[in-house]
Structure 1
Amino acid sequence: MVPSSAPGSEPASGAPAIRRRAPRGGRRVPRRAAVDRRSFAPSLHRLEELAQSGAQVSVHVAELDSGCVVLSGDDHVPLPIAGLGVVPVLVEAAAGFESRTLDPLRIVDRPDDSLVTRAGLWRHLRAPALPLIDLAVLAAAAGDPNAANVLLDAVGHDQVRARMVSLGMPRSAVLDRFRDRRGPDDAPHVAVGTTREFARLFAALVDSKAVDAAVSAQVAEWLSLNHDLSLVASATGLDPFEHDNDAHRLLFVNKTGRDRGVRAEAGVLVGPRAGVAYALTVCFDDLSISHRLRAHDAFRVLGTDLMEYTH
């Protein structure tokens, strides 16, 4: 992966380009601070290394106020995103609750005949049934696959697909439910998405433009409970179990996706200097723990760069 930050620079043959663009407009800052905030050199270096090792990398970072894209690379390419695909399902559920076409207190049984046993909290709980609104919390906060499957069944796959198109996400899709094993008749992935579309979705959520203000606020509230702060979010220093009211003027909302050889994260980070919407997906050969740690390191370096940009 070759950075394209100088005029006239061209990516090497076969390598996707990562572009770093200087922000325009907004608050004036001291020259040194402005220069520091514009530098994503560590992220560019890590992402380039991953791409050259054979990983598929897609990234998109944009300022919230201006919409200016400050970092991008293959952000139009749909890639597997695993649990990140639950976000449009949450949007559709919140829209159903708001319009009263879906009862948030409707009790739904746990699907023991198709239970996902490799992950999640609901499978460990004694309660065999929960209301839909509590399942939304489980899906957002703990990435619970069984809760997400029940929500998807409740709102309808076709409705989620239509909602994603209306949200400006035609290249992203929820393909299937979560499964322990995928057979030849199953979709190869639970969801695919582009980093451009998911970053814009998170920007719309915090800007109260995802469906409407009430739906945006509800989904953002659910996602603010997310416990997985181990990738990009690790740079924030936030408490994984209480990070919606930070003492250091930090607003953060995110969702991650994990599968074999897939790591994805999208979110919004707002600090005292700036706010950004971001998304990063890395698909890699998970041949050893070192391969996995290299992928994780790229997320953490991006998180550090985003913290410097917003602070």
Structure 2
Amino acid sequence: MPRHRPGVGWPDLTVRRNAPTGRGTDSPISWSVCVRDSGGQVVYDHRPDTVLSTASVGKLLLLIEVARALPLDLPCDRRDVEPVADSGLWQHLRTDVLPAHDLAVLVASVSDNLATNVLLHHVGLERVAALGHELGLASTALHDMVRDVRTAAHPPRLSSGTAAELSLLLHRLPGIDGGERVLDWMRTSADLSMVASAFALDPLSHDGLVLRNKTGTDDGVRADVGVVNGCAYAVLANWPPDEATVGEVLATMRELGDGIRAFVGN
């Protein structure tokens, strides 16, 4: 059963509220949700230990390893890796070489796939995996580089995790080596389409609430993890793409954001 602190309204994640009958049916959406207060105590959760695909949220582990182990002025050349499309800005820029710090900002702000793969080229997936073990993450991991085409020969998903582990990681981040730098990069996140849509912030200038977040998007996957005014949250949703609408998922994520906003008192 979900846990929640009284006095804050949270949506019911067990029913599908836009069913054609209007009566609600069992939801095809799998949720993993965990919200913690500034002391790390859980104020709301729903299946927090369920392992789900998290798409680009796994890039957070890469950013932590970059922050603690890579010279941030290291010149990084995108010609060292195969081109990759979809999210990101570097593929549209003319410069082939950028410092590691700038690539980290691109990953944090627009989940830049090309910057991700170049940083992985320098850091190595093995070191990111070792970091996860060092941090005590049993179910949260970045499994692979970003690929335009994922075949049976590749890991089936870019990353996976649980809301319990991810929210705790965000809560602990200030005390982790390199964590403060990662939080500074995360303040540039431009994706406020999910949980963070409730916070009424300008995606390009986060005045008001103190928000740091990272999102992940794929077919049948939406994930948003972050810290807002000291409250750490992780909201993960997976569903069969032909059985639920993105609009339903995003609306529910917005309701969860409303609950978080009410809890932090804004």
2:214 is aligned, of 255, 267, 292, to 255
Extract structure 1 runs of 4+ deviating beyond 3 A.
Answer: none
Q: Offset at 1:218?
A: 0.4
The AA in structure 1 aligned to 2:214 is K
| Residues 189-241 of structure 1 deviation map (CA, whole Å, 9 limit, x = unaligned) | 11111111111111112xx2123xxx121000000100001110011111111
- SS of 1:61's equivalent in the other structure is strand
- Structure-2 separation of matches of 1:159 and 1:117: 25
| Residues 34-53 of structure 1 deviation map (CA, whole Å, 9 limit, x = unaligned) | x533x32xx2x2x2225922
Greater C-alpha radius of gyration: 1
Q: Offset at 1:158?
A: 1.2
Partner of 2:251: 297
- Structure-1 separation of matches of 2:245 and 2:131: 36
- Structure-2 separation of matches of 1:112 and 1:132: 14
The AA in structure 2 aligned to 1:172 is T
- Structure-2 separation of matches of 1:287 and 1:130: 40
- Aligned CA RMSD, in angstroms, stands at 1.7
The count of aligned residue pairs is 257
User: What 5-or-longer segments of structure 1 have no aligned partner?
Assistant: 5-18, 23-34, 97-101
| Residues 86-132 of structure 1 deviation map (CA, whole Å, 9 limit, x = unaligned) | 00100000001xxxxx3212212214762112221111001112111
Shift of the 223–113 alpha-carbon distance from structure 1 to 2, 3 Å rule, reads closer
Partner of 2:30: 56
Contact 1:284–1:295 (CA under 8 A) maintained in structure 2: no
Q: Offset at 1:287?
A: 2.6
- Structure-1 separation of matches of 2:29 and 2:4: 23
User: What 5-or-longer segments of structure 2 have no aligned partner?
Assistant: 17-24
Q: What does residue range 193-232 of structure 1 map to in structure 2 within 5 Å?
A: 193-205=161-173, 208-211=174-177, 215-232=178-195
Q: Percent identity?
A: 35
Q: What does residue range 65-214 of structure 1 map to in structure 2 within 5 Å?
A: 65=39, 67-96=40-69, 102-111=70-79, 114-205=82-173, 208-211=174-177
TM-score for both structures, normalised by structure 1: 0.79
- Structure-1 separation of matches of 2:122 and 2:81: 17
Higher relative contact order (CA 8 A, sep 6+): 2
Contact 1:201–1:210 (CA under 8 A) maintained in structure 2: no
The AA in structure 1 aligned to 2:240 is D
| Residues 264-309 of structure 1 deviation map (CA, whole Å, 9 limit, x = unaligned) | 0111111xxxx42110111112238x71101111110100111111
